[in-house]
Amino acid sequence: MGATKTGRATSSRESQAYSSRGKRKHTYEGEDHDVIHGYYEGDEAPPPKKRRIAKPSAPSAEKRLRRSRSKPPQSFEEVYQRALTQRFFVLSRKRRGTPYCPEEVVEITGSTGNIYKVTIAQQPRCTCPHSEAGNQCKHQLYVLSRVLQAKFEYVYQLALLSTELQEIFARAPPIAGDDTAENADTNGKRKPLEGDCPICFCEMDEQSEGIVWCRAACGQNIHKVCFETWAKTKRQQGANSTVTCPYCRSTWEGDEDMVKKINKKGKRNSEGYVNVADQLGISQVRDMSSYSRWWSGHPESYRHGY
């Protein structure tokens, strides 16, 4: 009798467990129950697990092609001073690249008449021996500082990010001869004597040197020596059969004696560079007085002073 009561009590407890636990998985030893996938028949199947949707990974930050400089090193200062104190003449500027990563190629000549091409890109470079030996040359610094008027913290970097290039070119002076420059003024009136010369990018000073201006169209003021340099070099390159304004490209009017002198052609020197020193009336021997005797650039660069 006692055993019968005990069996009934056990059966009652099992029934209560079945009804109260609902969807939970049941396991009973010694019982024969219909189980489907671990659940009693009649139980609701568990809802399927939701698949996690992978979040798109954040775009990786752009890496500078050479180590970032937190401040200019001592070796930079000497080259930078030469870039600011020596005079260079911009012969052409050409924008290229993409809107995301713009570039500019600047053709310049300087103190000895050699013509070099400076490319301002993610890794600035120049065709001079000093740059081709892996150094940051004065031509690069001149273009970044004077021509493009870049922030100083960009000038001493060995490589630039695409966002920095976008900022530099957005703030840079317009390229002479492009649509912006050509449409700036076409009435032939002389502009006020202010701002920088569009060829050497140094300040205008009529008291210290001669100034000429475009009488044909744009009225742009230019240093006389800069205009002569630009026009002579363009003539020897075969770029123009007539002397034109470097800013608006109109045929140059006035200053006939000066125009007649601009008829010589440059020649390649022993180093393979087109040289226009004889046209500019300057020596091909470089003034080395500002160069440190410990300067460790390219050996030939030290001797020739690039």
Query: What tokens appear for 258 in the block?
Result: 């000066």
> Cα(9)–Cα(137) distance, rounded to whole angstroms?
98
pLDDT tens sequence across 46-94? 777 777 776 766 667 899 999 999 999 999 999 999 999 998 999 899 9
Q: Report helix, strand or coil for 7.
A: helix
The predicted structure's pLDDT at residue 129: 94
104 phi and psi angles, rounded to 5 deg: -145, 135
**DSSP H helical segments within the chain, as ranges?**
2-21, 74-85, 129-132, 138-142, 152-155, 162-171, 179-182, 224-236, 256-261, 277-280, 299-304
pLDDT at 3 over 80: no
**Report for 120-134, 181-195, 226-240: range of highest mean pLDDT:** 120-134
Global pTM reads 0.67
How far from the centroid of its chain's Cα atoms is residue 111's Cα? 26
Are 148 and 168 in contact by the 8 Å Cβ rule? The answer is yes
Query: What tokens appear for 268 in the block?
Result: 């390649």
The residue ranking higher by pLDDT, 156 or 291, is 156
Environment class of 234 (CB within 10 Å of its CB; exposed 0-12, middle 13-18, buried 19+):
middle
> Cα(248)–Cα(147) distance, rounded to whole angstroms?
18
DSSP notation for 188-229: -PPPPS-SB-TTT--B--TTTS-EEE-TTTT--EEEHHHHHH
Vertex 142, ends 137 and 144: CA angle to 5°?
Answer: 100
> Cα(119)–Cα(93) distance, rounded to whole angstroms?
10
The predicted structure's pLDDT at residue 8: 52
